[in-house]
Amino acid sequence: MTMQLGTVERPLRVAIIGAGPSGFYAAGSLLQQKEVNVSVDMFDRLPTPYGLVRYGVAPDHQKIKSVAKVYERTSADPRFRFFGHIDFGEDIIHADLRRHYDQIIYAVGAQSDRKLNIPGEDLAGSFSATEFVAWYNGHPDFADLEFDLSCKAAVIVGVGNVAMDVARILAKSADELRSTDIADHAIEVLAHSNIEDIYVLARRGPAQVKFTPPEIKEFGELANADVVVAQAELALDPLSAAEAAASTETQRNLEHLQGYAARTLTGKERRVHFRFRVSPVELIEEDGKVSAVRLEKNQLRADETGYLNADGTGDFETIPACLVLRSVGYKGIPLEDVPYDKRSGIIPNDQGRVKHAESGEPVIGEYVVGWAKRGPSGVIGTNKPDAAETVATMLGDVPDIPPAPQPDPTAIDGLLEERQLNFVTIEGWRILDKIELAQGEAQGRPRVKFTRIEDMLEALHAEIHLKG
Ligand code: NAP
C-alpha cells in the first residue's frame, strides 16, 4: 500500500535547484503549508546560499540584502536541508532527483547575458555588466577577471537597474566603497581607477528607460561625480510624450533627468553622462583591446503594435573608452534533461509547471520559479508571488504525481557520500557567515566575503559541517 504524500508519515519530498531568492521563496511557501507536510532539500553549486542577494545586489545597497533574514528563517525549519557546493548536471543529475524526490523545482535564475552582436564585442576590455557585478561582489567564478581602468572613459550599454549599479560603482570613490562588503580585489583595482567619464547609453529615449526613479535619483547625490545630460536629448516625440503621460514612474525619471540637464558641472572628479537614442555599432580595437566605441544616433519608430523601436539615422560618433560593459539583460542557460525555450531563454511552463518545449505537454512533477520561469525581470520581491503561484500548482498536482521510488532523506546523504562529494550544510554556511561578519566587524564593514571556494572549504574543514 502506498502512503499518502504530504503526511507526517510520508512528507512530500521536494528538491529545489538553486538557493537564490526564488528558491527560498518557494521553500518558504512550501514549508508554511498547513495541510501538507513537506520536506525540502535545496541544492546550489556554490557553498553559499542567497544567489543574487549575495552576488548581484550592489555592495552599496546593503539594505536590500537584509531580505536574507527571511531566508534565514526558512532555512532554520528542521524540514529544510541545504546542500551547498553540489552542481546539478555534474554532481547530481536529473535521474537522481527523479529517484529521490516527488517534486523538483528549478530556481536557477538566468546565468548568462545577452550580447550586442556587433564587431569588436569580444575584444579585451569588453565585458558583460554581469561579469563586472559578479567580480566586485566576490563571486568565486569571477574573482580572477581583470578590469583595465587605466584610461579616462568607460561606456555602459543599456539603461536598466544593472547599468545603474555598475555606473555608480565606477563613479564612487574607493573610500565610499571601502565601507561596504565589496570584494577586496575589486577595491584594490577601483582605488587605482583613472576613469573620469562614464557614458551610459540608451538606444531609445528617456521615456523608455528601464531604470527606476530611486536609482536615477542616487546619481544626483554622488559625492565624487557630476551628472551630465544634454537638454536636447531629453526632447520627446509625440508617442514618447504619450507613453510618459501614462506612467508616473516615467514622469519621475524624466524629472530627475531634467534636473540634471539644468545643473552646471561642479568640478567633481568624475562625470556620469546619460546619452539617449544612441546604439553602439562597433567596438574599435587598438593594441588588441577596446579603444573606442562607434555609435549611431537613432530615431524612434513605432511598429504595428505601437512599440517604439530604435532606428539608425546614419549619423555616427565615436567615444574613446578602454572599458565597455554591456548591460542589456540576463539570459537563461539550458539545464541537462530539462526543457528549455531557446528564444526566450526560459524553462517553458504553465503557471510554474514545466512543459515540453515542442509538444507543450506537462513534465510531471517538475516546476520552475523566478527568472528561469518568467525571464530576467522584476525586483527580488517579485519572486515571492511568483513562487507562491508555482507552489499552488505543485500542491494541486500532488494527488496525480507518482511518488518517488526512494524518498528516504538519508538516501541523498548516502548518494553524495558514495560519490565522495563534499557538501556544505546550512550549519556550515552559518559558520562561514559568522566568520565573514566577524572579519567585517573588525574593519567597520558589513562583512568581508570569502571569494574562493577553497578558502570556504578550508575554513570548514575542521568542522563537522563539511560533509562527505
Ligand atoms: P533590463 O531592466 O531589462 O534593462 C536592459 C536594458 O538593456 C534596457 O535599457 C534595454 O533597452 C537595453 N538593451 C537591450 N538590448 C539592447 C541592445 N541590443 N542595445 C542597446 N541596449 C539594449 O535588465 P537589467 O538592467 O539587467 O535588470 C534585470 C532586472 O533586475 C530588472 O528587472 C531590474 O529592475 C532588476 N534589478 C533591480 C535592481 C534594484 O532594484 N536596485 C538592481 C539591479 C537589477 P530597450 O528597452 O530598448 O530594450
CB under 8 Å to 31, separation ≥6 — which residues?
38, 40, 74, 77, 79, 80
146 inside domain: yes
98 inside domain: yes
Cell of 216: 536615477
The CATH number of the domain where 107 resides is what?
A: 3.40.50.720
Tell me which of 269, 299, 328 is where a domain ends. 328
Structural domain of 426: 12-111+332-467
Q: How far is the CA of 156 from the centre of ligand 1 (A)?
A: 12
Tell me, yes or no, whether 221 and 86 share the same domain.
no
Atom of ligand 1 nearest to the CA of 382: 32
Which of 161, 165, 330 most suits a substitution to test ligand 1, by most atoms within 8 Å of the C-beta? 161
Atom of ligand 1 nearest to the CA of 378: 32
Q: How far is the CA of 327 from the centre of ligand 1 (A)?
A: 7
Tell me which of 309, 328, 347 is where a domain ends. 328
Q: How far is the CA of 163 from the centre of ligand 1 (A)?
A: 7
Closest Cα to atom 29 of ligand 1 = 377
426 inside domain: yes
Termini Cα distance of the chain: 34
Tell me which of 328, 350, 381 is where a domain ends. 328
Tell me, yes or no, whether 177 and 262 share the same domain.
yes
Report the pocket of ligand 1 as residue ranges, CB < 6 Å.
116, 157-163, 165, 203-204, 208, 210, 215, 279, 327-330, 376-379
3 inside domain: no
Closest Cα to atom 31 of ligand 1 = 377
Structure pTM? Answer: 0.96
Closest Cα to atom 9 of ligand 1 = 159
The CATH number of the domain where 150 resides is what?
A: 3.50.50.60
Atom of ligand 1 nearest to the CA of 329: 26
Number of domains into which the chain is organized? 2
408 inside domain: yes
Which of 203, 240, 301 most suits a substitution to test ligand 1, by most atoms within 8 Å of the C-beta? 203
432 inside domain: yes
213 inside domain: yes
Atom of ligand 1 nearest to the CA of 117: 18
Tell me, yes or no, whether 95 and 148 share the same domain.
no
Tell me, yes or no, whether 103 and 146 share the same domain.
no
Q: How far is the CA of 234 from the centre of ligand 1 (A)?
A: 19
Tell me, yes or no, whether 337 and 433 share the same domain.
yes
Measured from the Cβ of residue 147, the count of other Cβ atoms closer than 10 Å reads 20
User: What amino acid is encoded at 382 in this protein?
Assistant: T
Tell me, yes or no, whether 278 and 409 share the same domain.
no
Q: What tens-digit pLDDT sequence spans the chain (468 residues)?
A: 467 899 999 999 999 999 999 999 999 999 999 999 999 999 999 999 999 999 999 999 999 999 999 999 999 999 999 999 999 999 999 999 999 999 999 999 999 999 999 999 999 999 999 999 999 999 999 999 999 999 999 999 999 999 999 999 999 999 999 999 999 999 999 999 999 999 999 999 999 999 999 999 999 999 999 999 999 999 999 999 999 999 999 999 999 999 999 999 999 999 999 999 999 999 999 999 999 999 999 999 999 999 999 999 999 999 999 999 999 999 999 999 999 999 999 999 999 999 999 999 999 999 999 999 999 999 999 999 999 999 999 999 999 999 999 999 999 999 999 999 989 999 999 999 999 999 999 999 999 999 999 999 999 986 655 555
Atom of ligand 1 nearest to the CA of 58: 42
